[in-house]
Homo-oligomer: A and B are copies of this chain.
């Protein structure tokens, strides 16, 4: 997905990033740039660029006379989309999915409330369109089409909130929803109750009813929490 192979250093990252985020090198492990360069058969300059990127993600720290030290998980930039993707692809997937779903449960209701106040007429229209698309594909194992509209729906909500930080979570939510459809148990058609809630959120936003939009969205995200067996009120 996104950007496969944007240069040699990117290839290195595609291997090293997932390895580190998967915990293959325990915190405190020390790597040497030269050794890594040999292992990946690239020049030191390329390897250094890769290390610099990992460093900017706070996955590693490079110190003179010591080497490249792998940092503890609590230091990582867990909001970096690249890091999120690496973790979603590895063995940490379930935990990452839980973290993200909890984050969603905090952010999306507030975003929906703001969207109800700030959404443009175009965004309102887009929203109802998405909701209708979800309804139309909610039966007959049209999972891909359903997912497409579901992702679009949440993206519009987050964008319409007018908050750049919320908007930036659109990609994350997309990956969570896609993950649920593709990897996890989702053989059956989506829950009709969830579909209805989306339609109602679209209505509430169009009606500028912030409180209602927030409450309904909270119901949606609480459903997502329950799917993952995360304790709810």
Contacts and interface: CB of A to CB of B under 8 A. Distances in A.
Interface of A: 9, 45, 48-49, 52-53, 55-57, 73-74, 77-82, 99-100, 102-103, 105-107, 109-111, 113-114, 117, 163-168, 210-211, 231, 233
B99 A82 contact: no
Contacts of A49: 48-49, 52
Nearest to A7: B62
Contact of A79 (B9, B79, B231): B79
Contacts of A81: 77
A160 to B, nearest CB: 14
5 contacts: A53-B55, A99-B164, A102-B114, A102-B165, A103-B107
Contacts of A168: 77-79
Given A45-B45, A53-B53, A74 B164 contact: yes
The A interface is mostly helix, strand or loop, or mixed, namely helix
B103 A163 contact: yes
A164 B106 contact: no
Contacts of A110: 102, 105-106
A108 B45 CA distance: 43
Contacts of A164: 73-74, 78, 99
A233 B116 CA distance: 12
10 tightest A-B CB contacts, nearest first:
A79-B79, A106-B110, A53-B56, A49-B52, A99-B165, A106-B107, A103-B165, A102-B163, A106-B106, A56-B56
A167 B113 CA distance: 24
Contacts of A167: 74
A211 B232 CA distance: 11
Nearest to A63: B6
B80 A77 contact: yes
A12 B114 CA distance: 38
Contacts of A48: 45, 49
Contacts of A211: 233
A53 B111 CA distance: 30
